[in-house]
Structure 1
């Protein structure tokens, strides 16, 4: 093997190791901090529909997205719904949005104007700026860690948090039950015709199975004193330190800079104001 090949292999291995370590470090940040950072950005961007604030926020979010250390394949697969939602929303606004300025195309209900195109761009950037950090920040979040953080850091009621956690844990079982029902019906020869009727029947069977499993789970949790009043003990402590505050500060800084630039350029368009 040549020296160049060895050097290239070592560089690739080092890059993968660095990405993996970055991803592990990001995964250990308290989920409450990730939720707070995403909410800070989202709440501010929801207040205005303009391309400047959304565009500035999207650019400032790039280092944050890269810090998550996600492989590119994982990034595109996880964020694909966000890109599709942003594109379809922008197209809809461009075709049927509020008409203002010069009208470029007018056909039946479709009316594409200067104002609708500007609004479509703002919508596209706005959906990306809100959706991308939310998806990327929560890729590495474990539901149990999130429940621990909400109960111990935010001090939400333990009954509500544990009930929601139990429901989240059962979502994967629903998919497995659906596949099991499909295989069982196919083995009995009743899955060859009538797709709509078969889907409705399977959905009803899945609904009944979910109710039974939920009742059994509720009884088991109550037997283990999950609904008892008074303070609870937790198997794992949810810690909130400097890294968490730093992530929240980054989210707040992105929101403040985006609003400041939009107001300074006169692009800020408060959706509850006169427009």
Structure 2
């Protein structure tokens, strides 16, 4: 289990060079309207736009696939859940699996949800694949006027995620060395996973308390004006990125409305 959270994109790509706050804001502006409708067309259009813009962020498709593979598990879970527990099974019957009837309406709803998950999650993955965490924290404080305590605390937590992955490996190896192994028993594996996760949670809480005490002792919450080693500038190109994200999102939503696919969440 390993987590790579450092930027993996080409730093010379035109959109990768933009201000971290601008990229984060563009991701939010582009993603939020997607949750206003349940139709499959809007997220499909948004997903197509994201894939077209991928080279401008300097992210290679293989790198994106390595970052986004957990979404495939989510998609599978959505499909299974919809097949088993869908309240409305409209449309033509395709397959009947015992008490579960797979219809075109169920598949259409599942497809819309899967596309929405990918369309909403990919902008965030692209932002973190093209942004140094320290630059993001600096930009949040300097450009978004976020509290320094929040931004620096979030940066510290972000930096600790790979450490948690290594600790999980250490806990697993230590338990295996002591003869604690679930073998092929799925229930034993589940119990072992739960106990290992609890041990990791306890260790993370203890480390968080020590880190917070150390940061306060070093004056991170003194309230005095701070200086910055790296200044983050928000220029016209960053504003254009925000406007472009809003316009593209509105265009996808408008296309859905004009073609009759729009299905609002609140109706």
Question: Residue 242 and residue 172 in structure 1: after superposition, are their counterparts in 2 closer, same or farther (change >3 A)?
Answer: same
Question: Residue 106 and residue 199 in structure 1: after superposition, are their counterparts in 2 closer, same or farther (change >3 A)?
Answer: closer
SS of aligned partner of 1:267:
coil
Q: Provide the TM-score with structure 2 as the length reference.
A: 0.80
Paired residue for 2:3? none
Residues paired across the two proteins, number: 252
Question: 2:60 pairs with 51, 54, 71, which one?
Answer: 71
Question: 2:166 pairs with 173, 176, 179, which one?
Answer: 176
Between structures 1 and 2, the one with greater helix share? 1
SS of aligned partner of 1:141:
coil
Q: Which runs of 5+ in 1 are unaligned?
A: 1-18
Q: Provide the TM-score with structure 1 as the length reference.
A: 0.78
Kept after mapping to 1: 8 A contact 2:29/2:245: yes
Q: Which has the higher contact order (CA 8 A, sep 6+)?
A: 2
Moved more, 244-253 or 194-203: 194-203
SS of aligned partner of 1:112:
strand
CA displacement, residues 48-67 of structure 1 (integer Å, 9 cap, x when unaligned): 01122122222222221221
CA displacement, residues 92-116 of structure 1 (integer Å, 9 cap, x when unaligned): 3355432223333444441222322
Q: Which runs of 5+ in 2 are unaligned?
A: 1-8
Question: 2:146 pairs with 156, 175, 195, which one?
Answer: 156
Residues in 1 aligned to 2:181 and 2:69: alpha-carbon distance in whole angstroms: 33
RMSD, matched Cα? 2.8
Paired residue for 1:214? 208
Residues in 2 aligned to 1:229 and 1:60: alpha-carbon distance in whole angstroms: 43
Residues in 2 aligned to 1:53 and 1:124: alpha-carbon distance in whole angstroms: 12
Question: Residue 86 and residue 250 in structure 1: after superposition, are their counterparts in 2 closer, same or farther (change >3 A)?
Answer: farther
SS of aligned partner of 2:27:
helix
Paired residue for 1:14? none
Residues in 2 aligned to 1:71 and 1:35: alpha-carbon distance in whole angstroms: 19
Kept after mapping to 2: 8 A contact 1:57/1:258: yes
Q: Quote the offset at 1:209 in angstroms.
A: 3.9
Kept after mapping to 2: 8 A contact 1:34/1:138: no
